Structure formats: structure tokens, C-alpha cells
């Protein structure tokens, strides 16, 4: 099965380049973003976070350290503490850097269409930066909402603005946000772990390693081998959004006319 990271799709299902490519020196993990690329002038927080993102994209969050980051930037490690007090702050900053690319048009009069676009953009970012996904999806769970980095809360605020402008009450807007991102978080985690045991094997049961499961205990799962082997993350996202948005539009309705601000 093709690595999902190379199948990232934007709003129209085409390879995503516009969003994630805007990260700067870290985009693509190119070796050119080493010490020479950052120069010898004054170091900035953006440069620090871009270099940290590059390390995480290439080797994972566990590989990031202040010392390794300092080497990548050709700086004394102590200088980096002016921009981040430690690794935890760096990880939060990297999450903010990636989520800053998640555009939400809160003035879009088609709230459901805008949420679908946001979902596609979120998936594209997740597939472009798979090692950052845990920082966005699971790491915030250990931090109270009001204490999270402000940049990570921007999508929530923007979507609440989108939905309240469309006439939804605040609590209903929050319900819709939670339903959408609960689905998105689960989807990207599922897609990133869609792995095959033997990619060159032609038999789906063998390719996915399902032949190792006792047939008497897992007859349905084994029987779904062709469907599992044909996993298409973009198509699965669209089908899930169809189900989710159809359910939301029939169970949660605006409580007042659309706000003139969205006209």
C-alpha cells in the first residue's frame, strides 16, 4: 500500500503542496535547510520553530533536543532558550506552526462547504507532517483548554465564528466543532497507520497479514481483506464527511437567521 504521506490531498483531492509548503525552511525536509540556510545573523523564533519542525518531520518528536536543534542552526544552545524555555515549548510551537496553515474562512455563507474544505486541509497537513499529528491530536489532551498555546486554539475560534455567523447558537457551534474534529482526529490516525505487511504480495489476505488471525474468531475482518487493502484515505474522508454533515444538518439547525456580518 502506498505511504499515505505521499497521497496528501488538498481541497480538490490533488496532491497538497500549497499549505504545508509554506512552513519555510522545514518544508520537505531538505538538507539545504541546515546551518548555511539560516545564516549567521540574528536568530528568530520562526527560524527556531522551522528547524525544529524539519527535525520532527525527518526523525520524529523524540529526536528533537535543544542541543540537536542548536547544531542544526549553528548556534549556542543557550541562545535557543531565549525563544523557547525547553523542549515542551518547542513542541507546542511546532504544533502552532503547522496549525497556522489551517485556513478557515469564517465569512463563508456555506458553513457545511467550508467545514468540508477545512477537513481536507487538515488531512493534507497531517499527511505532510505525520510526526506532528500526535502533537496536534493527543498532546493537547493533557493541557486544559485555556492553557494551550493560543495558535492551536485559532481554528476553534474561527470555526465558532463561522457557525455563529450562520445562525447557530454558541453551544451548538461547539457541538459541531467537536463532532468534526473528533472525526478528523480519528480519521488521520487511522490513515497514518494503514500499513501492509508484504506490499508486493498479490493476495490481500496475505498482504495485510490477516491470514495470521484465527478464522473462527475473526471471520468478518478476514472477509473484508479486499476492502481493507483498497483503502483510499481521500475517499474515506469524503464518505465520512457526507455522513457527518448530513447528520448535523438534520439534527442541529440554526436558531436565528444568518448574521448580516457573513453576507
Nearest-10 Cα torsion for 79, 138, 159, 233:
110
What pTM was estimated for this model as a whole? Answer: 0.75
Residue 8 has pLDDT above 70, yes or no: no
| Higher per-residue confidence, 98 vs 256 | 98
Residue at grid coordinates 463561522: 162
Read off φ and ψ for residue 9, nearest 5 degrees.
Answer: -120, 145
First to last CA, the chain: 45
Residue 16 has pLDDT above 90, yes or no: no
Condensed to tens digits (0 to 9), the pLDDT of residues 148-158 reads 888 889 999 99
Q: What is the pLDDT of residue 31?
A: 37
Q: Please choose, from the candidates 66, 65, 57, the residue with its C-alpha nearest in 3D space to the C-alpha of residue 133.
A: 57
Average pLDDT over residues 124-140: 93
Q: What is the pLDDT of residue 175?
A: 95
Q: What is the pLDDT of residue 258?
A: 57
| Higher per-residue confidence, 246 vs 8 | 246
Read off φ and ψ for residue 137, nearest 5 degrees.
Answer: -95, -50
What the block records as the C-alpha cell of 83 is 525563544
Q: Which strand (E) or helix (H) includes residue 242?
A: helix 233-251
Read off φ and ψ for residue 102, nearest 5 degrees.
Answer: -85, 95
SS3 32: helix
Residue 107 has pLDDT above 60, yes or no: yes
Q: Which of 228-259 are b and which e, b meaning 16 or more Cβ less than 10 Å from the residue's Cβ?
A: bbebebbeebbebbeebbeebeeebebeeeee
Q: Rounded to whole angstroms, how far apart are CA atoms 249 and 168?
A: 11
Condensed to tens digits (0 to 9), the pLDDT of residues 162-213 reads 999 999 999 999 999 999 999 999 999 988 887 666 777 778 888 788 888 8
How confident is the prediction for the chain on average, in pLDDT? 82
What the block records as the C-alpha cell of 160 is 465558532
Amino acid at each position: 500500500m502506498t505511504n499515505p504521506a505521499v497521497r496528501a490531498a488538498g481541497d480538490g483531492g490533488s496532491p497538497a503542496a500549497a499549505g504545508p509548503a509554506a512552513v519555510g525552511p522545514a518544508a520537505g525536509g531538505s538538507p539545504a535547510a541546515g546551518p548555511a540556510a539560516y545564516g549567521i545573523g540574528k536568530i528568530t523564533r520562526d527560524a527556531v520553530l522551522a528547524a525544529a519542525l524539519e527535525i520532527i518531520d525527518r526523525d520524529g518528536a523524540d529526536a528533537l533536543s535543544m542541543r540537536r536543534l542548536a547544531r542544526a542552526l549553528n548556534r549556542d544552545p543557550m541562545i535557543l532558550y531565549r525563544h523557547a524555555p525547553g523542549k515542551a515549548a518547542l513542541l507546542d510551537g511546532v504544533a502552532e506552526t503547522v496549525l497556522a496553515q489551517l485556513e478557515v474562512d469564517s465569512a463563508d455563507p456555506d458553513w457545511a462547504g467550508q467545514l468540508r474544505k477545512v477537513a481536507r486541509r487538515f488531512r493534507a497537513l497531517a499527511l505532510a507532517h505525520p510526526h506532528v499529528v500526535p502533537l496536534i491530536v493527543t498532546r493537547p489532551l493533557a493541557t486544559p483548554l485555556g492553557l494551550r498555546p493560543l495558535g492551536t486554539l485559532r481554528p476553534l475560534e474561527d470555526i465558532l465564528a463561522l457557525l455563529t455567523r450562520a445562525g447557530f447558537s454558541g453551544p451548538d457551534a461547539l457541538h459541531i466543532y467537536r463532532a468534526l474534529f473528533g472525526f478528523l482526529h480519528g480519521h488521520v490516525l487511522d490513515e497514518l497507520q494503514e500499513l501492509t505487511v508484504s506490499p508486493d504480495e498479490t493476495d490481500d489476505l496475505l498482504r495485510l497479514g490477516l491470514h495470521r488471525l484465527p478464522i473462527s474468531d475473526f471471520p468478518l475482518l478476514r472477509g473484508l481483506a479486499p476492502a481493507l487493502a483498497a483503502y483510499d484515505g481521500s475517499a474515506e474522508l469524503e464518505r465520512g464527511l457526507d455522513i457527518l454533515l448530513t447528520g448535523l444538518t438534520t439534527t442541529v439547525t440554526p436558531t436565528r437567521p444568518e448574521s448580516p456580518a457573513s453576507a
